[in-house]
Amino acid sequence: MGKSRRTQVCIVGSGPAGLLLSQLLHRQGIESVILERRDRAYVEGRIRAGVLEQGTVDLLREAGVADRLDREGLVHDGFEIAGNGRRHRIALDELTNGKVVTVYGQTEVTKDLIAARLAAGGEIVFEAADVTPNAFDGSKPFVTYSHQGQEHRLDCDFIAGCDGFHGVCRQSLPQNAIRTFERTYPFAWLGILAKAAPAADELIYAHHDRGFALCSMRSESISRHYVQCSPNEDLSKWPDARIWDELRHRIGDTDGHHINEGPLLDKSITPMRSFVAEPMRHGSLFLAGDAAHIVPPTGAKGLNLAVSDIYYLYRALVQFYKQSMSDLLDRYSDQALARVWKAERFSWWMTSLLHKFPNEAGYDRAFENRMQEAEIAYLMSSRAAQTVVAENYVGLPF
């Protein structure tokens, strides 16, 4: 074994979960090292989430990384649902006594966190290969990895598995140590990032007979749109013109919003799944973010759930190091999962309500399609139903 050294918390993965945990711990004088498989450009270039709950904004402020977010983030106090030939605005602030969301790309959150970590002398080992968690059943875990041809061993007190759905940490757990729950959906999202003004001032979620569509944004000059497609879609069958045409059909160009075309900066397919691994702790290894759970992006919960996991894990680690207590660490998995499952429910419900489900062989979905239409009509007519949507969309309390 080559170089051997020690830190307090070894964080695997430099996505939002890993970076935010490292930054929050640093501000409490707790040392961490982040081991990241990819290079910095790849991590900063991934185009993903766009809507931040208030709890996420508050924690980014507490981490001292929200200056640009506060300058450039777009505060939204409502969004629209289109369906059954109508549109209805969900007035978030009115329905939740003033709560709102902020539109600010995950890529920007990641860039702000990486810049803050490096400016503070934080250590992010990019292009760390063969990262392997060891001895996490006991109190002397360590992580091995290779970097620039050199083997390394990093001894630590805790391992934070922030390495996403395809990461190594959850896969390193003994099969009988976790129980998983999964639902895959018979559709995906084709997402585009375009140099074009947004279709409207707020997001529009559309249920349509041709499939779901979502018009979102990143700024006044950058649009982020999605159309439902098949899970094994061939991107080459979706030239730009077809995407713009589908968006126009599904959203409906009417007064108050208009699909503005422009050059595409990105075009990609996002699979849709609901997934939870229980528990989120195994000995001195703690899973957080996509490493532990996945939601379909319809409810804009993925990034925000990663942040709430970090809120619980950060507080627990501070209690351990500052007060030599571990009850919050012992409660981490139950506390995080209680909020995860509520967000899983909302994301599953919003996905089931707004997407067009294909008829399966020998099963006619005519009744379910009418149920969708009836639920959308009820949602548009009931303040109580809109309040349920609004309080979940702005984010349930941590």
Residue 151 DSSP symbol: E
- Assess whether 297 carries a catalytic annotation: yes
Position among 306, 316, 350, 380 found at the interface with ligand FAS (CB under 6 A): 306
Contact positions with ligand PHB (CB under 6 A) in 152-181: none
What does residue 274 show for φ and ψ, rounded to 5 degrees?
-110, 135
Contact positions with ligand FAS (CB under 6 A) in 322-351: none
- Assess whether 76 carries a catalytic annotation: yes
Residue 358 DSSP symbol: P
Query: For residue 30, what are the CA distances in angstroms to 33, 262, 314?
Result: 10, 46, 10
Contact 145, 127 (CB under 8 A): no
298 binds, among ligand FAS, ligand PHB, none (CB under 5 to 8 A by kind): ligand PHB
With contacts defined by CB under 6 A, name the span among 11-19, 25-33, 238-246, 314-322 that binds ligand FAS.
11-19
Binding mask 141-170 for ligand FAS (x = CB under 6 A): ---------------------xxx--xx--
Nearer to ligand PHB (CB atom), residue 161 or residue 191:
191
Residue nearest to ligand PHB (CB): 50
Nearer to ligand FAS (CB atom), residue 37 or residue 355:
37
206 binds, among ligand PHB, ligand FAS, none (CB under 5 to 8 A by kind): none
- Assess whether 332 carries a catalytic annotation: no
Beta bridge pairs of residue 182: 275
Position among 26, 37, 170, 282 found at the interface with ligand FAS (CB under 6 A): 37
Which of 297, 311, 321, 355 is an active site residue?
Answer: 297
Closest distance of CB 48 from ligand PHB, Å = 7
Residue type, 198: P
Which of 104, 145, 185, 205 is an active site residue?
Answer: 205
282 membership: H or E segment, kind and range: strand 281-282
391, two tokens: 């309080």
Position among 208, 224, 257, 281 found at the interface with ligand PHB (CB under 6 A): 224
Cβ neighbours for 192, distance < 8 A, ≥ 6 positions apart: 223, 224, 225, 226, 240, 243, 264, 266, 267
131 lines the binding site for ligand FAS (CB under 6 A): yes
Beta bridge pairs of residue 190: 227, 269
- Exposed/middle/buried for 182, CB within 10 Å: 0-12, 13-18, 19+? exposed
6 membership: H or E segment, kind and range: strand 3-6
Half-sphere exposure of 285 (CA within 13 A, CB side): 29
- Assess whether 321 carries a catalytic annotation: no
215 lines the binding site for ligand PHB (CB under 6 A): no
Contact positions with ligand PHB (CB under 6 A) in 250-309: 297-300
Closest distance of CB 151 from ligand FAS, Å = 15
β-bridge pairing 78-83 and 86-91: antiparallel
Nearest of 301, 300, 302, 283 to residue 291 by alpha carbon: 302
Position among 17, 49, 196, 247 found at the interface with ligand PHB (CB under 6 A): 49
With contacts defined by CB under 6 A, name the span among 45-53, 61-69, 92-100, 249-257 that binds ligand PHB.
45-53
- Assess whether 186 carries a catalytic annotation: no
What totals of helices (H) and strands (E) does the chain contain, helices first?
Answer: 11, 21
For tokens 């993965």, the residue is: 13
190, two tokens: 């084709």
Helices (H), 355-382: 366-381
Residues serving a catalytic function are 76, 205, 297, 301, 393
In the complex, which residues of this chain contact ligand PHB (CB under 6 A)?
Answer: 49-51, 203, 216, 224, 297-300
In the complex, which residues of this chain contact ligand FAS (CB under 6 A)?
Answer: 12-18, 35-38, 43, 48-50, 106, 128, 131, 162-164, 167-168, 270, 289-290, 297, 300-303, 306
